[in-house]
Amino acid sequence: MADTVLTSGLARPQAMRLAAWRPRRQTMLAFSLLAPSLILLTLFTYWPVIQVAWQALHNQIRIGGPQTYVGLANFAALFADAAFRKALSNNLLYAFGTVIPSLVLALGFAMALARSSRVNALLRSLFFLPVLIPLVAAASIFLFIFLPNAGLLDYHLAKLAISGPNWLGDPDIALWSIMGLTIWKNAGYYMLFFLAGLQAVPADAYEAAILDGANPWQRLRYVTLPYLKPTIGFVLVIGLINVVTQVDHVFVLTKGGPSDSTNLLLFYVYQQAVESYDAGRAAAGTLVMLALLLAISASSLRTLERSFGEREP
């Protein structure tokens, strides 16, 4: 109303200029508010990515030395390297063997401990405790557990007259042992998201399902899981990103061995950059990891959007 009175009191050209200026002023205000975040994002995200892309196209014999343009030669050498292909396949197996079991365990913990009680509060704290332990410290604990013949796991297996394998020294078992640590570490963390998601499930939906004669499995299948789809999608994204970005436990437990059986992508990049001083190949490997993360994030966000769309009335 005030705007109508104001514009009616102005000459028509002046009112038109004022109307044209308002969107531009709002745009300038929006950019001024976003400027600090855009500057930080450019300095600490986009600029490093540009530097890595530049490094991937060049070779550098020593740090600070001259760079030689080699085109896509670093990428060709990367995919020709059997160690990289092994790390890539290990990462895929590691993702399959850790994300889904962690997610299922976390959902089970959350459903079992959703009700408010002192015992459940204590158990929730116990399950969440591994999240508070740094990954390096957790790996050190598991190093003691997996110690051949004298570790905690072999000690209890010996009581059952079972001889445990070399958990971290056998190429067929080492990666699965590391998966056990990852599942133990992440399940409690994901449980928190499912506990929050369960709070959003309306009680009358369960009551209606019970009146319809639904058994516990049918209530889980047709009531709980549909409401938890956005949470499941979100946890899936976090889990897949962690699979690519976490490597501390590999460094502590096996250093990628034996025979590269536990080598993961990020540890391979570390080896190329720090141990082999091959910055070009390490940069190429980093870009491949970045492309994987972007693909995972894009597909997961699309799934999340569809899930939220299905929830809208």
What whole-number distance in Å separates Cα of residue 184 and Cα of residue 175?
Answer: 14
Nearest to 87 by CA among 295, 301, 292: 292
What whole-number distance in Å separates Cα of residue 187 and Cα of residue 240?
Answer: 14
What pLDDT does 31 receive?
Answer: 86
What pLDDT does 313 receive?
Answer: 44
What pLDDT does 269 receive?
Answer: 92
What whole-number distance in Å separates Cα of residue 244 and Cα of residue 265?
Answer: 7
What whole-number distance in Å separates Cα of residue 102 and Cα of residue 192?
Answer: 12
What pLDDT does 2 receive?
Answer: 46
What pLDDT does 57 receive?
Answer: 92
pTM of the model: 0.81
- Look at phi and psi of residue 213 and say left if phi exceeds 0, alpha if psi is from -120 to 50, else beta: left
What pLDDT does 308 receive?
Answer: 59
Nearest to 178 by CA among 126, 251, 110: 251
Contact between 167 and 262 under an 8 Å Cβ cutoff? The reply is no
Nearest to 254 by CA among 102, 151, 83, 139: 139
What whole-number distance in Å separates Cα of residue 194 and Cα of residue 231?
Answer: 7
Write out the chain's pLDDT in tens, 313 residues.
444 544 455 566 666 766 766 777 888 888 888 898 899 989 988 999 999 999 999 887 766 677 888 889 999 999 999 999 999 999 999 998 999 999 999 999 999 988 888 888 899 889 888 888 888 888 888 988 888 887 888 888 888 888 888 899 899 999 999 999 999 999 999 999 999 999 888 888 888 888 888 888 888 888 888 888 888 888 888 888 888 887 888 988 998 888 889 999 999 999 998 888 888 899 999 999 999 888 887 887 777 677 656 554 4
User: Measuring CA to CA, how many Å separate 53 from each of 57, 115, 167?
Assistant: 7, 50, 38
Q: Which residue has the tokens 């490093």?
A: 48
Other CB atoms within 10 Å distance of the CB of residue 78: 26
The Cα angle at residue 302 between residues 299 and 304, in degrees rounded to 5: 110
Tokens of 227: 């409401």
Residue 107 burial (C-beta neighbours within 10 Å; 0-12, 13-18, 19+): buried
171 CB-near residues (< 8 Å, 6+ apart): 258, 259, 261
Cis peptide bond upstream of 258, omega within 30: yes
88 CB-near residues (< 8 Å, 6+ apart): 265
What pLDDT does 9 receive?
Answer: 52
Q: What is the C-alpha radius of gyration for the chain, rounded to an integer number of angstroms? A: 27
